[in-house]
Copies of this chain bind each other. A is one copy, B any other.
Amino acid sequence: MSTNRLEAFSDGVLAVAITLLVLELRVPPIGGHSTLAHALLAQWPQYAAYVTSFLTIGIIWINHHAMIGRLREADRTILALNLLLLLTIGVLPFATDLMATYLKQSRGQHLAAAVYSGAFLLMSIAFVSLNGHILLSKSRLLGLDLTLEQRRKILLRGGIGIVPYLMATALAPVSPYITLGICGAVAGYYALPVGSGG
């Protein structure tokens, strides 16, 4: 099976998921003595969670592109693992909404943060699993010659991405703001020009 339609379908799911995030941004009503400025500022967790999730899905798209670009063709195991990866991406709008809703609440904020970074963690694990499967078990499907050494290095570089999400999830019981801060820093570092090394 060629990788064209695998890319097309994955791009579709990623494009829809990244754009659906906007549904989490809600037009606020204005209370009695409040102003729209105040109401908009008060929902800053929505913007923070939105930007973090948007950039994170964007990074995944870039990395997914690189991963599939190395493939010459796909078999059913790769399709299945890719589907699991898309499943973890598909729930991100929900996890983002949960985080934005509860970040400032006294009740639920720690769990919401754990679910949020936990969703990113799951996504990273799914990504590394698929990448590891391609690079190690199915390397005969690769379109380029890479030594075992090179393949391990690529895998390791991607695998490191799991670490900050582990930390962010572990720190959710301490402070949901730290969790969001770590996830946002990862997104900013990898997505923005400064982190990409041009």
Contact = CB atoms under 8 A, between A and B. Distances in A.
A79 B62 contact: yes
Interface residues of A, number: 68
A12 B16 contact: yes
Identical subunits present: 4
Interface string A17-49: 111111101010010000111011000000000
A77 B22 contact: no
A19 B16 contact: yes
B8 A80 contact: no
8 contacts: A21-B90, A27-B98, A27-B101, A27-B102, A36-B111, A51-B87, A55-B83, A80-B192
Nearest 10 pairs between A and B by C-beta?
A12-B15, A36-B108, A76-B196, A16-B19, A25-B94, A58-B83, A77-B198, A80-B193, A13-B15, A36-B111
Contacts of A13: 15, 18-19
A87 B35 contact: no
A38 B58 CA distance: 32
A11 B22 contact: no
